[in-house]
Amino acid sequence: MAKTDLDHNHILYLHPSNTTRAPIVSIQLTGTENYSVWSRAMRIQLLGKNKLGLIDGTLKIEDFEEDLGHQWDRCNAIVLGWIMSSVSKELLTGIVYAKDAYHIWEDLRERFDKVNASRVYQLHKEIATLYQGTNSVSVYFTKLKELWDEYESMTPPSCDCRRSKDFNKHLHRQKLMQFLMGLNENYEQARSQILMTNPTPSVSKAYSMIIERESQRSFSNVSMVGEGSEATAFLSTKGGSYPKPKKNWNIQCEFCKMKGHSKKNCYNIVGYPADFKFRKKGQGNSTAYNANVGNYAPNVPGPNAGRNDDGDTAALNEIPRPPVFTTDQYN
């Protein structure tokens, strides 16, 4: 088969977009700590591009006719470039002189594919101690799933026998418990409903149920805020107001000697507000009433308004006064 006859299904076919200008994975290999994730991401990408055989040894140049040797070299160079662009600078110098992608891949696997007990222990610890905290449910679940996936990549694949299937069900149920245990306490009701569901839902189904509950809670909070704003606007429109704070009867005015207000708020000095309600004679404490109110109407300064600390009443004389009623006229 000539090179010009290659179609897109041929294993040596190169799409015009297959270049080494950009890495095919976003993960950069740094060492043992992320080799399992990096290698899996690379294998998925190479499988999608139909070039996985160049790193697992199943696609050798001897297996093709002589006229396809140059095309194999091109494919090998492309895969070499993808590998070199996805490793750290410290690792690049050790593989840049390799001749084929297969030997580079094997060298990296022998150096970094170490499933050590310390990493397995660390994964178990992180999974057991991971809690939602201030994160959203989606962020918490994503972190937990990353730990699960990394742990599973270190364990051998299961078979199709009955015991293996039962064990897989146990592992999925264990994941569900781990997910529910890490949720915040405000999901206690949803957690109880999931545990009482028969049959027990998968962890993905439980996640969708929690997300739905979270969305309902967010909608309820927005509705409550909206109702509160409408109530405030209604009071403002209708002229309503919130109750005024109670007087502090532990303080006493230095000017009028009455309790419940300070000198700077004394009506005899600053004047009476427009909505002040005057009590008739005989109601309440008439002495306190006369001392604090006198014969002045609303919006009129008190008898000592404008007087400074030295007793100067010059400013008071400039303030217009209303007619003063006698006691007989008032009664």
Instruction: Give domain status of residue 95, yes or no.
Output: yes
Contacts of 205 (CB under 8 A, 6+ apart): none
Measured in whole angstroms, the distance separating CA 16 from the mean position of its chain's CA atoms is 41
Same-domain status, 53 and 122: no
- pLDDT at position 270: 78
* 109 falls within a domain: yes
Sign (positive/negative) of CA torsion 177, 181, 183, 185? positive
Q: Are residues 136 and 109 in the same domain?
A: no
Report which residue type is found at 147: L
**Angle of helix 188-196 versus helix 203-237 axis, rounded to 10:** 140
Look up tokens 């609303």; give the residue. 298
Q: Where are the beta strands (DSSP E) in the chain?
A: 248-252, 259-260
> Are 111 and 38 spatial neighbours (Cβ–Cβ below 8 Å)?
no
Residue 261 amino acid letter = H
Distances (CA, A) of 293 to 125, 155, 274, 319, 327: 75, 89, 13, 17, 14
Statement to judge: residues 65 and 107 lie in one domain: yes
44 and 69 both lie in a single domain: yes
Residues 143, 163, single domain; the answer is: yes
Does residue 141 sit in the same domain as residue 198?
yes
- Cα separation, 261 vs 250, in Å, equals 9
Q: Is residue 171 part of a domain?
A: yes
Domain end, chosen from 220, 240, 261, is at 220
d(CA 31, CA 33): 6
Are both 77 and 131 inside the same structural domain? no
| pLDDT for residue 63 | 82
User: Do both 90 and 121 map to the same domain?
Assistant: no
- One-letter-per-residue 3-state SS of 17-86: CCCCCCCCCCCCECCHHHHHHHHHHHHHHHHHCCCCHHHHCCCCHHHCCHHHHHHHHHHHHHHHHHHHCC
Residue at 278 is within a domain: no
Q: How many domains does the chain have?
A: 2
Looking at the structure, do residues 210 and 130 belong to the same domain, yes or no? yes
Would you state the pLDDT for residue 274? Answer: 67
In angstroms, the CA 304 to CA 312 distance is 10
Q: How many angstroms separate the CA atoms of 301 and 4, rounded?
A: 104
Asked whether residue 178 is assigned to any structural domain, the reply reads yes
Q: Is residue 256 part of a domain?
A: no
Exposed, middle or buried, 55 (CB in 10 Å: 0-12/13-18/19+)? buried
pLDDT at 156: 67
Task: Say if 170 falls within a structural domain.
Answer: yes
Residue 320 lies in a domain: no
pTM of the model: 0.49
Looking at the structure, tell me whether residues 92 and 181 fall in a common domain: no
> 109 and 123: one domain?
no
Cis peptide preceding 303, ω within 30 of 0: no
* Domain ranges, residue 211: 116-220
* Domain finish residue from 113, 128, 153: 113
Per-residue pLDDT of the chain (331 residues; tens, 9 = 90+): 444 567 788 888 888 888 887 789 998 999 888 888 899 899 999 999 999 999 998 888 888 878 888 899 999 999 999 999 999 989 988 888 888 899 999 999 988 887 677 778 888 999 999 999 999 999 999 999 989 988 887 776 666 677 778 888 888 999 999 999 999 998 999 999 999 999 889 999 999 999 988 888 776 665 555 555 555 554 444 444 444 545 677 788 888 888 877 887 787 887 777 666 666 554 444 444 444 444 444 444 454 444 444 444 444 444 444 444 455 544 4
Domain boundary among 84, 113, 142: 113
> Residue 271, class by beta-carbon neighbours within 10 Å (0-12 exposed, 13-18 middle, 19+ buried)?
middle
Regarding whether 157 and 96 lie in a shared domain, the answer is no
